[in-house]
A and B are shown apart, each in its own frame.
Chain A
């Protein structure tokens, strides 16, 4: 067993939400909390949006057209754009974690840079897919 029982560690439980929000998170911290938030978002939308959309896209040509009609609604496009961002951020940040698990890029400077890269790549891809979604080409 650990020896923590003999020496109680100090606990600070007087943080308020306002203080939490005023703390400046480093880029890696922002990527981390957004990794969690995007994961939760994807979990919630799984049976509500993702599987229903998949179902109507593959079941029949008629349901495929119905799916296209659904997607052509601007509000639905917005929902999809948020989900696309969530997927891309979760994907990119997750790959960063897999690389960190291999003990690559563990030092502070490289870790900050790779967190910046996560934001750069995921947001750039979100813009590309977003433009495609809103019919730029």
Chain B
């Protein structure tokens, strides 16, 4: 167990503190997604015309040898998936009280999200 600390006069914080990690992850990934949304939006707004080429360019552009477009999209997509995991697990924890059913739903959630990552990565990195 982590070191014990007292909050206020009564409350003793115990456990693995993974709730703190989830809290921080939820907010960091939110900021990453919000910034990336604006990057894509203004990237499109300031491209001379919205076409297949200019749209694709947002995900394939390079700086030097670095595939920055693909790296940013990957970062944003990992943020989507981690953010969704925390949020969807919150929903199961709030409404599903049966431990077995909750476990099943969490496993299905993981499969759904991991499948999305594989699908997205395959598309993005074969550009």
Nearest A-chain residue to B30, judged by Cβ: A94
B67 within 8 A of partner (CB) = no
DSSP class of A's interface residues: helix, strand, loop or mixed? helix
Number of B residues with CB within 8 Å of any CB on chain A: 27
Number of chain A residues close to chain B: CB under 8 A: 23
Q: Please, how many angstroms separate the alpha-carbon atoms of A98 and B33 in the complex?
A: 13
Task: Assess A98 versus B55: contact at CB under 8 Å? Given A3-B10, A40-B88.
Answer: no
Taking CB atoms, residues of chain A closer than 8 Å to B84 are 39, 42-43, 46
Tell whether A61 is near chain B: CB-to-CB under 8 Å.
yes
**Chain B CB within 8 A of A95 CB:** yes
Q: Are A47 and B119 in contact (CB under 8 A)?
A: yes
Give per-residue flags for B52-95: 1 if the beta carbon is below 8 A from chain A beta carbons, else 0: 10011001000000000000000000001000100110010000
Determine chain B's interface SS by DSSP, over half rule: helix
User: Do the beta carbons of A61 and B123 come within 8 Å of each other?
Assistant: no
Interchain CB contact under 8 A, A91 and B37: yes
Q: Which of B1-41 contact A (CB under 8 A)?
A: 10-12, 14, 27, 30-31, 34, 37
The one of A42, A47, A57 in contact with B115, judged by C-beta atoms closer than 8 angstroms, is: A47
Interface status of A101 (Cβ within 8 A of chain B) = yes
Partner pick for A43 among B12, B88, B123, CB 8 A cutoff: B88
A51 touches B123 (CB 8 A): yes
* A59 interface hit (Cβ, 8 Å): yes
By a beta-carbon cutoff of 8 Å, the part of chain A in contact with chain B is 1-3, 36, 39-40, 42-43, 46-47, 51, 54-55, 57-59, 61, 64, 91, 94-95, 98, 101
Besides A54-B123, A61-B52, 4 new A-B residue pairs in contact (Cβ under 8 A), listed by A number? A2-B11, A47-B112, A58-B124, A98-B30
